[in-house]
A and B are shown apart, each in its own frame.
Chain A
Amino acid sequence: MSIQEISLSGRKKLVSNKEMTFLEKMYLIAILKGLGITIKHFFRKKATINYPEQVREFSPVYRGRHMLKRDEQGRENCTACGLCALSCPAEAITMKAAERKADEKHLYREEKYASIYEINMLRCIFCGLCEEACPKDAIYLTISKELVPANYDREDFIFGKDKLVMPLEMAIKNTQLKNSN
């Protein structure tokens, strides 16, 4: 076997410069073939979906919108240490710490908590370094399984605690699941 005939991929095609026959020169047959191919796509299953109504399945490790977790008793994990902000390469996170009052023990797990916690979703690159840095298991990108939706104003992309903290119902459900197991 000569080196010209070897095809490791099995897809090798020799290029030829042969003259086209009369039928080939008319192009009509080639055009009809092309029309056949496109009409097949007309009836094929669509590759796109109706996005907000339909959502694609996310991979379990997909990094989407951040979520500030609650523990089994529904208290916020975050203690406003600022390590996430420090680790953030895009400078997207900012927060303000506050001291927990005596009557707030059911709301916050630690003695210090974040009274303001904001992530600028336009800056965030969803790298997940904040999640890795967090010592309190508080911030996660993989739980929400949500994308950050489009918006008209830049201000609307700064997500506060109202959008970031895990909803109470979700925390209750998680606890129930854990107890039943």
Chain B
Amino acid sequence: MDSTFIIEKSVVILVVFGVTMLMAMYSTWAERKVAAYLQDRVGPNRAGWGGLFQPLADGLKLFAKEEFAPNTPNQFLFRVGPGIAMATALMTSAVIPWGDRLHLFGRDILLQATDINVGILYIFGIVSVGVYGIMIGGWASNNKFSLIGAIRAASQMVSYEVAMGLSIVALLMMTGTLSLKEISEQQAGMNWNVFYQPISFLIFLICAFAETNRTPFDLAECETELIGGYHTEYSSMRMGFYLFAEYANMFISSTILAVLFFGGYNYPGMSWVAENWGVNLANIIGIGALFVKLCGFIFFYMWVRWTIPRFRYDQLMHLGWRILIPLSIINIMITGVVILRGEIFAYLGW
């Protein structure tokens, strides 16, 4: 392992980290702006042009606020909860291919922190750990509302992870790989997976809403019933970390949706651009294409939030266990039959 490799990877990791933070920051701004526009309002417009410095002002405010901790026997857990939520939210971005590769300084630079061959499994694993941040925070708060919120979040995320994993299985049967890089490469041109696996996409989308605790599945922090859910007792930047982790999760899940189903960094005419204008430019446009797609998903998240009211808890469980899981199993079976149709036809002698 030479030193240039380490430098290259550190730069990629730092850029990915910075971009994730920036996107999470500006998602809060976008959320307020989109909410305002959908409700015929103007939204934040005092801090900077169009309120663009609003996230900075919010962050400054959160840092300056008094840090209040409840009288709880679990001081350590209370402190560590937001950290776990934030760390897991940022870790998932490591395996996402932001673009193909850039040719700089005589080297091929892979636009991905690491291309491990179990990329999707890694993401699922990290996302499951993310529950602990919420669970520990809610438990350590020593507050009934926090505890109920945390329990809701845990059972909701565990239930929907099953449906999410099963919905991906059908896709993986088609692609034959778990590496996000290879999945992106297979979708070159307009060969996007969403055209082959629309049901898988729909289930994954619904589960992504539930996994990120977004409306209509935000039962973990529903203000009307639980004050703030698991972060009721949190104040200052600790609460900021929870909210920030939520937005980072939203950014990452939008990216995964774009990579798995909407062709990742591919765009129509990419090979033509690579031939005529050079590989670097083609891939920079590719990064732009990925960002357009994922920003579309982030907008969709917000759009849905201000359209659909929250589910009741039994409805949520009903949808997860009795509709989405059977549906994804049927989808797996149909996909299997379609993949093996040649063998089946040969067996039947048609």
A interface residues with partner B (beta carbon < 8 Å)? 31, 34-35, 37-39, 41-42, 44-50
Contacts and interface: CB of A to CB of B under 8 A. Distances in A.
B41 A48 contact: yes
Interface in B155-195: none
Contact of B303 (A35, A46, A49): A35
Given A31-B307, A38-B303, A48 B42 contact: yes
- Specify the main secondary structure of chain B where it touches its partner: loop
A42 B30 CA distance: 13
B39 A34 contact: no
Given A34-B308, A47-B41, 16 more contacts: A35-B303, A35-B307, A37-B307, A38-B306, A38-B307, A39-B38, A41-B37, A42-B34, A42-B37, A42-B38, A44-B40, A46-B37, A46-B41, A46-B42, A48-B40, A48-B42
B38 A41 contact: yes
A159 B34 CA distance: 40
Contact of A47 (B38, B40, B303, B307): B40
A47 B304 CA distance: 21
A39 B37 CA distance: 9
A153 B154 CA distance: 47
B45 A46 contact: no
B315 to A, nearest CB: 10
Interface in B277-304: 303-304
Interface residues of B, number: 13
Contacts of A42: 34, 37-38
Interface string B27-58: 00000001001111110010000000000000
A41 B39 contact: yes
A49 B40 CA distance: 10
A42 B37 CA distance: 5
Contacts of A46: 37, 40-42
Nearest to B323: A26
Contacts of A31: 304, 307-308
B41 A34 contact: no
Nearest to A40: B38
Nearest to A34: B307
Among B41, B45, B307: residue with most chain A CB under 10 A: B307
A30 to B, nearest CB: 9
